[in-house]
Amino acid sequence: MHANFSLLGVPVTIRPTSLGAGLLSALVVALVTRERRVALGIAAGGLWYTADFTHVVGHIVSSEAVGAPMDAVDFGLYPMSVYVNHDVSPQQHIGRAGGGVAASLLATLVLLLLRSRVTNSLARQLLAIAATQHGLLFVLSMLPVQLVDGGVIYTNLRKLRR
């Protein structure tokens, strides 16, 4: 597959399955909100991708910082970081994985801070949705499962302790 665009110099391929996460987010928000269901659901669908892209940008920046740059992003149901060179140190693996996690956590905290300063109810709802999405991505990415960042971090921390 060819790249659809470049993000900070990293080629990104978008697959049709990438619509799934936004649609699911839209549906969940529409089901749990009482007022403005349609508007908030549609907004949540779009906002989900800000969480995904923030997380990916964190990976791109951190992978460059540790000297093991990302080669591509394959954006299906969720974005997958593509690295051609897997022969990197445990510290580099941790650094690459930690960037997405850190970006998601930072975005969550910034969005919550902004929400605490805003008085408009619609803006507060949108900021709460976005903060929840970024926070959910942070929590899920920290699970100790090899498929996600937490698994990579925990596996490589164990290697360093040997």
> Which residue range(s) make up the domain with 75?
5-161
Extract the tokens encoding 98.
Answer: 């930690």
Looking at residue 73, the DSSP 8-state letter turns out to be E
Residue-level pLDDT at 86: 76
| Residue 37 confidence (pLDDT) above 80 | yes
| Residue 2 confidence (pLDDT) above 90 | no
Residue-level pLDDT at 34: 87
Residue-level pLDDT at 1: 59
Average pLDDT, the chain: 95
Per-residue pLDDT tens digits for 99-153 = 999 999 999 999 999 999 999 999 999 999 999 999 999 999 999 998 999 999 9
Got the DSSP string for 39-69?
HHHHHHHHHHHHHHHHHHHHHHHHHHHTT--
User: Which of 75-79, 103-107, 152-156 is predicted with the least confidence, judged by mean pLDDT?
Assistant: 75-79
| Residue 98 confidence (pLDDT) above 80 | yes
Residue-level pLDDT at 80: 93
Per-residue pLDDT tens digits for 116-127 = 999 999 999 999
- CB-based contact 122:142 (threshold 8 Å): no
Extract the tokens encoding 140.
Answer: 């899920």
| Residue 3 confidence (pLDDT) above 90 | no
Domain count, the chain: 1
Residue-level pLDDT at 162: 84
Residue-level pLDDT at 85: 76
